[in-house]
Chains A and B, each alone.
Chain A
Amino acid sequence: MLTETLPDKAHAPQAPRRLPGDLAIWFFILAELLAFAVFFSAYAFARARHVEEFNLYQQTLDLTAGAINTVLLITGSWFVALAVQAAHRDDQAAISRHLALGWLCGAGFLGIKCYEYAVKFGAGISLSTNTFYMFYISLTFFHFMHVILGMVILSVLWKQARRGVYGAHEANGLESGAAYWHMVDLLWIVLFPLVYVMR
């Protein structure tokens, strides 16, 4: 395997440019990114009209929980990127192992988010409490559903990987699912500072 991958790396700059995964997943990712761009700017412009309210209620958010969740998504993304690398060097066992670890990071994210929601809902906060909480709940919940979909995709990839579908011969499906999972991470990288920290 080493002799096969080494020359490839040495000639990487000359290698033809290649889009990982299916073209269709990238169109889907673009559509998702644009939808979130609208939500992120809606939040930012609503904040511009209610600065005091947003600054006040933002302080009630659990900054540390949000940061731990960032670490979980980044680490989950890292595991899935390693799964794709494992496929390219035909290491079957490492593909499914890294996919499972990525899935666990997603589960950890959902657990912490549920704890955050439980605290807020327990305090009687809802979508109609005020504009800030309306945005906080709807933005994070919309993203929450994307994490769930990402985990469904990782489950399918894991099952396929266990059956030996992916390897040096075939990684297209794996790369497509991985790209979606990285998008979920990318969205949180903007959402976390925007909603939890910026003031």
Chain B
Amino acid sequence: MMTLLANPIHRAWLILLAATALTWYLGESGAAGTGAIIAMLLIAFVKGRLVILDFMELRHAPRLWRILLEGWMLLVGGLILLAYWLSLK
């Protein structure tokens, strides 16, 4: 178990699985509305960051690339949130 958690790639995989189960559960339980959308965007952001930093190995890459990919997550999340806010009007 310790050796399993020592490798950041195994750690990322386990968190990604748990986060996916959480998103599935939110969907199955019919979660809707502002709170649910923000929670799902946060989960997606955490998952995306794990893929970017641990799977793509950008944690130790030149900072520019980290900023570009994490920035993409923020841009997409921000646009989805903006569109949701507009739908409430």
Contact = CB atoms under 8 A, between A and B. Distances in A.
Contacts of B27: 63, 67, 196-197
Q: Which of A18, A64, A78, A183: most chain B CB closer than 10 A?
A: A78
Contact of A37 (B13, B68, B72): B72
Contacts of A49: 87
Contacts of B44: 189-190, 193
Interface string A163-199: 0000000000001001100110110011011101111
Interface string A76-88: 0110111011000
B83 A63 contact: no
A199 B39 CA distance: 12
B11 to A, nearest CB: 11
A47 B83 contact: yes
A197 B23 contact: yes
Contacts of B82: 44
Contacts of A185: 51, 55
Interface in A1-36: 12, 15, 17-20, 26, 30, 33-34
A32 B7 CA distance: 29
Interface string B31-52: 1100011001101100110011
21 contacts: A17-B60, A18-B62, A20-B58, A45-B83, A70-B20, A70-B23, A74-B13, A74-B16, A77-B55, A81-B54, A81-B55, A82-B9, A178-B55, A186-B51, A193-B40, A193-B41, A194-B80, A196-B27, A197-B26, A198-B37, A198-B40
Given A37-B72, A44-B84, 7 more contacts: A67-B27, A71-B20, A74-B20, A75-B13, A175-B57, A182-B51, A193-B40
Interface of B: 7, 9-10, 12-13, 16-17, 20-21, 23-24, 26-28, 31-32, 36-37, 40-41, 43-44, 47-48, 51-52, 54-58, 60-63, 65, 68-69, 72-73, 75-76, 79-80, 82-84, 86-87
